[in-house]
Amino acid sequence: MKCKTIVGLFLMSTLAVFSQNASVVSPNKKISVELRNSANTQVGGWYLKVNYSNDGKISEVFQQITLGLDRADQSFSTALKYLKTSKPNLINEHYSVVHGKRVQCTNSANEVVVSFENQGKSKLNLIIRAYNDGVAFRYEFPEKGGTFVVNDELTTYCVADSTKRWLEKFNPANEGLYTSSKDGNLQQDWGYPALFNTPDKGCWYLIHEADLDKNYCGTKLSNVAEKSKYKLTFPDQWNGRGQGEVKPTITLPWKSPWRVVIIGSLSDIVESTLVDDVSTPSIISKTDWIKPGIASWNYWSSNHGTKDFKKVCEFADLAASMGWPYTLLDWEWDTMGNGGKLEDALKYIHSLGLKPLMWYNSGGNHTWVSSTPKDRMLTHENRVEEFTKLKKLGVAGVKIDFFESEKQSMIQYYLDILEDAAKFDMMVYFHGCLVPRGWARTYPHLMTYEGVRGAEWYNNGPEFTTTAPEHNTILPFTRNVVGAMDYTPVTFTNSQFPHITSYGHELALSVVFESGIQHMADRPEGYQDLPDAAKTFLKEVPNAWDNTKLLDGYPGKDVIIARSKGNAWYIGGISAERFPKNKTLSFNFLPENVKYKLTLISDGEHDKKLVTEYMVVEKSSVVKVRLLGRGGFVACLKPIL
């Protein structure tokens, strides 16, 4: 009996030591990650357990994140032998960015590396990091030599019943609406990022991936097999018109993209830069040619506007009158007429002190869209020839559209474009594309992505008229968290289908939505007919920020965001709800003993009316704001010197 007790105590001690060595805690002690074995032994299948602690209350984020990879030659999943866990390593890196929600960022986490081997003695490492605002993990094959196909990635997030979730049905252009639910009864493929609120309401988390490179494909989430389990899955064969291989091919040594979960309060989610933090640092040392800014854009109000030289000039005049640095020539610039051709338009744009941006079809058989110019970005030789011409013409950047796939070959194409563009000091933004994967840190001339159902959907049918208000209040907690978002906002007039959002709501989108190049989508009179205060606000509002704070909000209901540039703060607030409401603005994010002049522009007596108030505020001040149904407001705070 005594011998059995000693053996039992030894086993318990061994397991406790093993569990402790395979765990990591965030620097602020709020987030913990534990590696566990499904059979409670040192050989078999493995999973991660994640907890979040706030003021002594512990929320279970994931009871289980299943781990594993299947290569074509062998499996790394159910028969992995634990070898060792490294000593915890503090990652502590500070970096700055040219554009985004925060200019100074910190990549700070505790990291451990867990080593395994499979039955064939091949090695697999699992790199786990715990951040103050989330967790990240990635797989590593450390051995050198060999090229293999990955048949499947087994990473699966097991989500507890009664977890509130906001998910977007996957489509290759990532232009769907988010659906909210409290269960997993909708079973299908879902796009990134995916937002969840734990059953106890104590914790929010957002699932994404980052640092995707040429050695893998993009993935998505699928709960088709089991409703509570969201498994990473590869692209479908039909994506990109069937072009490219579904399964990625890797060459050893190899690391997977980071599997990222942002964790905490809603403000932790909105303010996080975790997707960029874990991504590869900038490969561009000289960045003075990368200039974030606002652009005028004619496509929303006139789908064939760039065919018309006079229309192009009208939008250039708009940008000049508003002090915006850019105007975009969208599709059909190669068939421009009515008084001038492309060269005439570029000459006119430059004469106003503006920089032109130009649209391209991504080309190739991966897209059915025949719009021209097509194929000029498709190969390295094409791009060098085209970028050489554009550089001589004084074009500052290119918008490239219709990628329609996240297969490995398409990921390689995206990154080839960015690498070639950098050699010509050419800014880039992608449309009809994937959502951000942290590339803006590596390639800071990547200014923005579409990957969102934006304002152009007012041209696609009547649906967006009714869904836009709620959609707009979900995006700051989901899609725009993970990177720049080219929604093409701030439209006061109507396009093919009308708005039901107020002027205050539309004005606020200039602050609520973040994009390295912000395309103001309305026609010239939409801005020219605004009251002076609103017009001045749009002339002055930045689009690259020093800091970002969530002041209030809940996805699908309302959101208030404050962003700073220099000593000034800009606030945007919007509501999705049908009836008027009052919101309270507090300014506790301001420094002590500094007074600010507040310019508040909010909804008036009806949805096309704005009212402006001026007052002096400080850190302790409180201001009431009235929003109409589906309304909004903006505020600008400048220190009184």
- The owner of tokens 């960045």 is 287
User: Residues 152, 205: one domain?
Assistant: yes
Distance between first and last Cα of the chain: 81
User: Residues 319, 250: one domain?
Assistant: no
Task: Give the C-alpha distances (Å, rounded to integers) separating 143 from 76, 121, 254, 255.
Answer: 14, 11, 8, 11
| Residue 372 resides in a domain | yes
Burial (Cβ within 10 Å: 0-12, 13-18, ≥19) of residue 346: buried
Query: Treating both helix axes as pointing N-terminal to C-terminal, what angle do 503-512 and 463-474 enclose, rounded to 10 degrees?
Result: 40
User: Residues 310, 167: one domain?
Assistant: no
| Residue 19 resides in a domain | yes
> Could you read off the pLDDT of 460-482 as tens digits, one per residue?
999 999 999 999 999 999 999 99
User: Residues 272, 288: one domain?
Assistant: no
For residue 193, whether the previous peptide bond is cis, meaning omega lies within 30 degrees of 0, is yes
Question: Can you point out the beta strands (E) in 21-68?
Answer: 23-25, 31-37, 43-44, 46-54, 57-66
| Residue 458 resides in a domain | no
Closest CA to 170 of 92, 223, 246, 129: 223
Task: Give the C-alpha distances (Å, rounded to integers) separating 473 from 56, 176, 265, 476, 493.
Answer: 31, 14, 17, 6, 21
Query: How many domains does one find in the chain?
Result: 3
What is the 8-class DSSP label of residue 407?
S
> Could you read off the pLDDT of 91-104 as tens digits, one per residue?
999 999 999 999 99
User: Residues 256, 135: one domain?
Assistant: yes
Distance CA 545, CA 529 (A): 28
pLDDT value, residue 492: 98
Choose one of 210, 243, 277: the last residue of a domain. 277
Distance CA 29, CA 453 (A): 37
Distance CA 196, CA 508 (A): 26
Q: What angle do CA 171, 172, 178 make, to 5 degrees?
A: 35
- List, in sequence order, the alpha helices (H) in 513-550: 524-528, 532-540
- List, in sequence order, the alpha helices (H) in 154-202: none
User: Residues 272, 326: one domain?
Assistant: no
Handedness of CA 286, 289, 293, 299 (dihedral sign): negative
Query: Treating both helix axes as pointing N-terminal to C-terminal, what angle do 309-322 and 532-540 enclose, rounded to 10 degrees?
Result: 90
User: Residues 170, 186: one domain?
Assistant: yes
| Residue 563 resides in a domain | yes
pLDDT value, residue 9: 32
User: Residues 525, 545: one domain?
Assistant: yes
Domain holding 8: CATH number? 2.70.98.10
pLDDT value, residue 20: 40
Choose one of 248, 277, 306: the last residue of a domain. 277
> Could you read off the pLDDT of 436-465 as tens digits, one per residue?
999 999 999 999 999 999 999 999 999 999
| Residue 427 resides in a domain | yes
What is the 8-class DSSP label of residue 234?
P
pLDDT value, residue 641: 87
User: Residues 219, 309: one domain?
Assistant: no
User: Residues 172, 45: one domain?
Assistant: yes
Choose one of 277, 302, 324: the last residue of a domain. 277
| Residue 465 resides in a domain | no
| Residue 468 resides in a domain | no
User: Residues 420, 543: one domain?
Assistant: no
| Residue 459 resides in a domain | no
Distance CA 552, CA 559 (A): 6
* Token pair in block for residue 29: 């002690």
**HSE value, Cβ hemisphere, 13 Å, CA-based, for 112:** 21
User: Residues 243, 289: one domain?
Assistant: no
Which residue type is seen at 508? A
Domain holding 553: CATH number? 3.20.20.70
Owning domain of residue 373: 280-451
Which regions in the chain score pLDDT beneath 70? 1-21
